[in-house]
Amino acid sequence: MTTVRIPDDALALACGADRVAAAFEAAGCTIERVSSWGMHWLEPLAEIGGQGFGPLTPADVPAVLAGTSSKAIGPIASHPWIASQQRLTFARAGRTRPLSLADYQESGGWQALTRARGMAPAEVVAEVIASGLRGRGGAGFPAGIKWQTVANARGAEKYVVCNADEGDSGTFADRILMEGDPFQLLEGIAIAAQAVGAQVGYIYVRSEYPHAIAKLEAAIALAENRLAPLHIEVRVGAGAYVCGEETSLLNSIEGKRGEVRAKPPLPALEGLFGCPTVVNNVLTLAAIPHILSPGGAELYARLGIDRSKGTMPIQLAGNVQHGGLYETAFGITLGELVNEIGGGTASGRPVKAVQVGGPLGAYIHPSQFHLPFDYEAFAAADALIGHGGVTVFDDTADMGRMARFAFQFCAAESCGKCTPCRIGAVRGAELLDRIMAGGAAMTDAVEALPQMHNAPKQGRSRDQDLQLLHDLCETMQFGSLCALGGFTPYPVRSALKHWPEDFG
């Protein structure tokens, strides 16, 4: 009997994977639901004896089984998209069944945890520091230093919190990992707990990820004996973007309103319930089992460039021909990612802009495509790597409207704790309305900002308005309590710098 392997992650399901699986089953095949390979433009993707077929519909099934399908892509493992990657965090992607303890163990699972529990906590922390691993959630802070701080802190209780509130547009690596390889995340959390002396871990997941939540809860139940004495709980957010910021997330877990806390004190010293807390992103914790395998820290440190060590799961989205997840070592150029790996725009039109780092990342002009994917290189170019999301726009994009959206988004998602973010975003949208209208009366407010009905002050020139916009951006960047208000100026300034013609 023919065995057909089909992904069961949220994207594959949205593309019709269940219907394709049902058609193969009706044809007498055995179905295995596996994790996603990350080649999203080919979903639903089926694998039979190592050979791939996609994107499929139920009508394609007879031709696939007859060996006459035009959707054949050859051996999946040797497809250029897969073969050119350096997969560490996503080494199991497409190869294992997400909730199979046997698959996980046979592919090296739990070895790192077993090794870590045979080491002194300080030795575990030292290996993470030696690897050069930096937080993959956006800030890029050295993970080992954070762990060391928590390990050395005094507290009646200590916690490990996984930030799975993946809210940036164009990002989906956390979701793919939680849905496709949940045991790897649990193993990383358990190693972190062992290193810092925590007995309880929390995974904070956005409510928009029901499939990930179900997979995590099932995985925790299946791995309970492996994880003991560590207790792990899944906590579901309520849709607030700002809860991706670590202190807002901690407030939410505690049952409080999701708003930013002033720092200091840092969560590493006074975090969840006032206790020392490790807060790491999904991809950070999922990299730990590889790093704690024998020789893993040394291998990880050899990959990448400068202070950006290891690999980064990069997510290609937007108007791009080959959208999906591409894991590679730091150092690849943005041009390679967009034009060679991504295949250029899906529309076939020229690339106009690329936004890296979510809705508050800078818009990067094609003239900057030489930039290496590296934290310091992007920072020097007034840009962000963030969570590794790359969103592509073709030449029909209106960058004035995109810049305005940054203010609109910030105003809608602000927790309201600090004035620069709460008020600055609204005033910024008003200013851009005036600038793009050439100083005339302000355009009608969008639904997200119904309060903007007052007419702008008259008498300022365009240059004065632009200077005021610059001053406002500076105030938001340096005066906001968290990155929501602090990063909003990045897309605004970059759009104005590279596409001034789109501002009227």
In a domain, 176, yes or no: yes
Tokens of 319: 């108007």
- What CATH number corresponds to the domain at position 352? 3.10.20.600
pLDDT (0 to 100) of residue 460: 77
The answer, yes or no, to whether the previous bond of 264 is cis (omega within 30 of 0) is yes
Which DSSP string do the residues of 250-308 spell out, in sequence order? HHHHTTS---PPPSSSPTTTS-GGGS-EEEEEHHHHHHHHHHTSTTHHHHHHHSEETTE
Contact 158, 237 (CB under 8 A): no
Q: Do 281 and 169 share a domain, yes or no?
A: yes
Residue 37 C-beta-side C-alpha neighbours within 13 Å = 27
Domain tally, the chain: 4
Q: Give pLDDT < 70 ranges for the chain.
A: 439-459
Q: Do 121 and 24 share a domain, yes or no?
A: no
pLDDT (0 to 100) of residue 436: 87
In a domain, 90, yes or no: no
Distance separating alpha carbons of residues 167 and 137, to the nearest angstrom: 11
Q: Do 253 and 123 share a domain, yes or no?
A: yes
Q: Do 246 and 292 share a domain, yes or no?
A: yes
Last residue within a domain, chosen from 394, 414, 430: 394
Q: Do 255 and 159 share a domain, yes or no?
A: yes
pLDDT (0 to 100) of residue 458: 59
Largest CA distance in the chain: 79
Q: Reduce the secondary structure of 126-182 to three states and give it as a string.
A: HHHHHHCCECCCCCCCEHHHHHHHHHHCCCCCCEEEEEECCCCCCCCHHHHHHHHCH
Q: Is-above-0.85 flag for pTM?
A: yes
Identify the residue whose tokens are 């100083």.
439
Last residue within a domain, chosen from 267, 302, 337: 302
Q: Which residues contact 162 (CB under 8 A, 6 or more apart)?
A: 185, 189, 201, 202, 203, 204, 280, 281, 282, 285
Q: Do 243 and 117 share a domain, yes or no?
A: yes
pLDDT (0 to 100) of residue 476: 92
Q: Which of 422, 134, 184 is nearest to 306 (CA)?
A: 134
Q: Do 25 and 167 share a domain, yes or no?
A: no
In a domain, 95, yes or no: no
pLDDT (0 to 100) of residue 478: 93
Distance separating alpha carbons of residues 112 and 118, to the nearest angstrom: 10
Q: Do 438 and 482 share a domain, yes or no?
A: yes
Structural domain of 60 = 3-83
Percent with pLDDT over 90 in the chain: 82
Distance separating alpha carbons of residues 287 and 297, to the nearest angstrom: 10
In a domain, 145, yes or no: yes
Last residue within a domain, chosen from 394, 413, 428: 394
* Cα torsion 492, 496, 497, 499: sign: positive
In a domain, 92, yes or no: no
In a domain, 91, yes or no: no
Torsion of the alpha carbons at 318, 36, 343 and 490, rounded to the nearest 10: 40
Q: How many helices (H) and strands (E) does the chain have?
A: 22, 16
In a domain, 210, yes or no: yes
Secondary structure of residue 7 in the 3-state scheme: strand
pLDDT (0 to 100) of residue 232: 98
Q: Do 356 and 410 share a domain, yes or no?
A: no
In a domain, 94, yes or no: no
Q: Do 227 and 370 share a domain, yes or no?
A: no
- What CATH number corresponds to the domain at position 165? 3.40.50.11540
Q: What is the pLDDT of residues 133-143, one digit of tens each?
A: 998 887 788 99
Q: Do 123 and 12 share a domain, yes or no?
A: no
Q: Do 390 and 405 share a domain, yes or no?
A: no
Contact 11, 52 (CB under 8 A): no
- What CATH number corresponds to the domain at position 435? 1.20.1440.230
pLDDT (0 to 100) of residue 461: 82
**Residues 289, 114, 91: CA angle, nearest 5 degrees:** 25
Percent with pLDDT over 70 in the chain: 96
pLDDT (0 to 100) of residue 254: 95
- What CATH number corresponds to the domain at position 78? 3.40.30.10
Which amino acid makes up residue 348? G
